[in-house]
């Protein structure tokens, strides 16, 4: 089950969990932490107790790829998030998400899906990724500063940019007005789209809610695992969504919510 039932305790944190300017209406939209802090910490405690994230299966059926030991190794930690929602019958529940892929897996039972069709992603990017990796190997084999190396570096850069544009076009972004567009159309501002836009917890959670008629009541994202290299993320801490990346689509995604609350 994706939406897990929950009874609200009455605790409410008005601090913004995510915010962004909307590419469509030009206004800023905000989702508060609201009642999501305690469910977020409860999820973290469960992950720490079970030592895994495939929480919907018995321990003897756990996938070894989904252990949280992965978060304390070379890959370091990762962001996780919960969204407290209300369905059309008035029932409240919690959705959960992890940022990006977990140990190279896009999908895990019980966690919301990414904004793209995973099978299409693999099908349409496999050859391009192999080509880019092959160029990388060829570049390493050439002398530094050689004309051939500079030429191949330029070819690889162009191939990578083309692939990223294609990937961005696969991300379908929903909002609470019932609209759904490719990611580039949802981005606020004219600057280039940063790598990883749309991969974070907040976009995944809000997208699922919008597509399934659920009303967000609060959102909280926390970090689990080894401190990141820049030492800006620490285990067990709650952080707002990034403004420079996913913040550029979150305004579009939340647009229309105030009319449905």
Full pLDDT tens readout for the chain, 261 residues: 699 999 998 999 999 999 999 999 999 999 999 999 999 999 999 999 999 999 999 999 999 999 999 999 998 999 999 999 999 999 999 999 999 999 999 999 999 999 999 999 999 999 999 999 999 999 999 999 999 999 999 999 999 999 999 999 999 999 999 999 999 999 999 889 999 999 999 999 999 999 999 999 999 999 999 999 999 999 999 999 999 999 999 999 999 998 876
**Where are the extended beta strands (E) located within the chain?**
4-5, 13-21, 28-34, 78-86, 92-98, 172-174, 180-182, 215-224, 238-239
Adjacency order of strands within the sheet including 92-98: 4-5, 92-98, 78-86, 215-224, 238-239
Q: Positive or negative CA dihedral for 165, 182, 75, 67?
A: negative
Task: Enumerate residues 6+ apart whose C-beta is below 8 A from 22.
Answer: 28, 29, 188, 251, 252, 254, 255
Instruction: Name the nearest CA neighbour of 106 among 87, 134, 125.
Output: 125
Q: How do the residues of the chain divide into helix, strand and coil, expressed in percent and rounded to 5?
A: 40, 20, 40
Is the distance from CB of 91 to CB of 5 less than 8 angstroms? yes
CA angle 120, 127, 135 (to 5 degrees): 140
């Amino acid at each position: 089950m994706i939406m897990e039932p929950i009874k609200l305790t009455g605790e409410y944190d008005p601090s913004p969990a995510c915010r962004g300017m909307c590419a469509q209406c030009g206004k800023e939209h905000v989702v508060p932490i609201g009642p999501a802090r305690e469910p977020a910490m409860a999820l973290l405690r469960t992950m720490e107790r079970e030592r895994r994230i495939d929480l919907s299966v018995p321990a003897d059926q756990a996938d070894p790829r989904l252990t949280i030991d992965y978060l304390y190794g070379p890959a370091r930690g990762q962001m996780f998030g919960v969204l407290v929602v209300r369905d059309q019958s008035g029932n409240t529940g919690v959705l959960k998400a992890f940022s990006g892929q977990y140990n190279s897996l896009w999908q895990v039972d019980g966690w919301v899906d990414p904004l793209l069709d995973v099978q299409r992603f693999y099908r349409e990017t496999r050859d391009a990724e192999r080509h880019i990796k092959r160029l990388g190997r060829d570049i390493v084999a050439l002398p530094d500063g050689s004309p051939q190396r500079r030429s191949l570096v330029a070819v690889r850069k162009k191939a990578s940019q083309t692939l990223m544009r294609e990937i961005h076009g696969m991300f379908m972004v929903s909002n609470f007005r019932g609209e759904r567009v490719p990611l580039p159309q949802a981005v606020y501002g004219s600057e280039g789209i940063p790598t990883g836009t749309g991969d974070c917890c907040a976009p995944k959670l809000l997208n699922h809610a919008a597509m399934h008629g659920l009303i967000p009541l609060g959102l909280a994202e926390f970090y689990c695992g080894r401190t990141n290299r820049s030492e800006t993320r620490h285990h067990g801490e709650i952080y707002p969504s990034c403004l420079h990346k996913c913040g550029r689509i979150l305004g579009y995604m939340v647009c229309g919510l105030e009319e449905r609350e």
